[in-house]
Amino acid sequence: MARGITFILGAIAVAPTCFAFVPQAGPKRTSFLKMSAPTVKLGIFGGGTVGGGIVEIIGKKKEAFEQLTGSNIEVGKICVRDVARKRDFDVPANCEIVSDYDAILNDDSIDVVVEVMGGLTDAKDVIYKSIKKGKSVVTANKALIAKFLPEIMALLDEVNKGREEKVEFRYEAAVCGGIPIIRSLQSDFVGDDIQMLSGIINGCTNFMLTAMDRDGKSYDEALKEASELGYAEADPTLDVGGFDARSKLRILMRLAFGVEVNEEEISCRGITELSKVDFEYAKMLGGTIKLLGVAERVDDERIAAFVSPCYVTGDDSLSSVSGATNAIEVISSNLQSSTYIGQGAGRYPTANSCINDIVALAKGDKTPLPFNPSSDAKFVQNYDSVFYLRLSYRDGLGITRNCGEICEKCGVSIHSILQNPVTKRDDAAFVIITEKVSLKAIKEVCAEIEALDWCRGPAFYMPVLREDWVQALV
């Protein structure tokens, strides 16, 4: 009987403890999860336009990032050239402004290094040392990646060998600023086969070409306006010469086709040879001119690529992309045509891409092959296209006959010849549109025509982007 009473009393005694965890009315308390959220500490190299944008976005979205990642993303240190200089952003609490690279590189509490300082030499040292010290890297440095991509891959392989927590390398902001093309090529086409990519991948030149086309401005006038608005650097050579676009194209080629190529081998022609008359003829044809980076699968074993002004038909998805906007079209077997359009540069578009990489790292996302698997495809410098050929001339007899004979000799078939009324004899020019021929053949035609007495100055040629361009005229 006593045992029975004891059991009952025991049950009664235990029962109240079952209700001890019911929340009672009172002041709101911070959850245990929030108090124990791990910290992902950043070391940022560069406190200028993009670096400031990163700091501002983190400050604005701090709570959202913590909910999304389960971690507290914190800017620990920012490395700049002049620590006394006033910043155009609020420096976060507990963030230290430093000028010594080692203050970040040798700080074991820094988890992720964000490189937005630009350049090659110092930036390369910072990135390589960060990787060797086990710090993941986020960078916007397209020139460095394009030049040293094989070295970066080899270093990551070496450092991550046998390492449980892999060092990550992220670079979404390196190509086309705010457009998420890197991640898309890493994840959205894994079951697909890319046949071609073409894009407006330099904002400065697209702004200039828009001004020349829409506003009838000369090259010099368009460049002056681009400089005044901050789209062109003091030395605009990298932009107007096509070299900036070539660096981006080299990276995109590795991701899209797995092909390794020295960027200096990619045919690169900028916009400096374009004139008002080219836009007049482009309008006559119903289209416009864009500086494009193009890479295309010739066959299963060969990839061709170039950076060049191109004639684009008026109904093409790239023709309406104006101003400093960037756009990339990816043509593939499964998805057919996918076009990405957005801001290619600027404080917040570029910072936004860096933030996406930082948040992905804080979430624990993994990218074992940041540049996608390699392939056996080989890069070839020659490619086939319909070409636009503009020739400046002095009055004379037999000009058309000369052109026909040279084209026949070089195996180039002429589709049409265009000529506007001549208003200035010293500025007279006509245009030949070819059928699809090789770049090698069109160069041979240009060399032979330039040697003739009536030809004034170098011949100008550019590819026509689509083979079916004639259909757009119907």
| CB-CB contact of 99 with 79 (8 Å) | yes
Cα Rg, the chain, nearest whole Å: 29
The reported pLDDT for the residue numbered 14 is 40
Q: What percent of the chain has pLDDT over 90?
A: 84
DSSP classification of residue 76: E
Compute the CA torsion angle 411, 303, 294, 195 (nearest 10 deg).
110
Q: What pLDDT, on a 0 to 100 scale, did the predictor assign at position 234?
A: 84
Among 41, 77, 217, 248, the active-site one is 248
| Catalytic residue status for 248 | yes
Please choose, from the candidates 377, 366, 382, 422, the residue with its C-alpha nearest in 3D space to the C-alpha of residue 399: 422
- pLDDT tens-digit readout, 252-287: 999 999 999 999 999 999 999 999 999 999 999 999
Closest by CA to 408, choosing from 379, 369, 381, 434, is: 434
Cα angle 256, 345, 348; round to 5: 115
On the question of pLDDT at 244 being above 80, the answer is yes
Please, where are the H alpha helices in 374-419?
399-409
pTM for the whole thing?
Answer: 0.88
Confidence of residue 35 (pLDDT cuts 50, 70, 90): low
Contacting residues for 170 by C-beta, under 8 A, at least 6 apart: 136, 137, 138, 139, 357, 358, 360, 361, 367, 370
- The pLDDT tens digits for 426-435 are 678 999 999 9
pLDDT digits (tens, 9 = 90+) for 160-217: 999 999 999 999 999 999 999 999 999 999 999 999 999 999 999 999 999 999 999 9
Residue type, 37: A
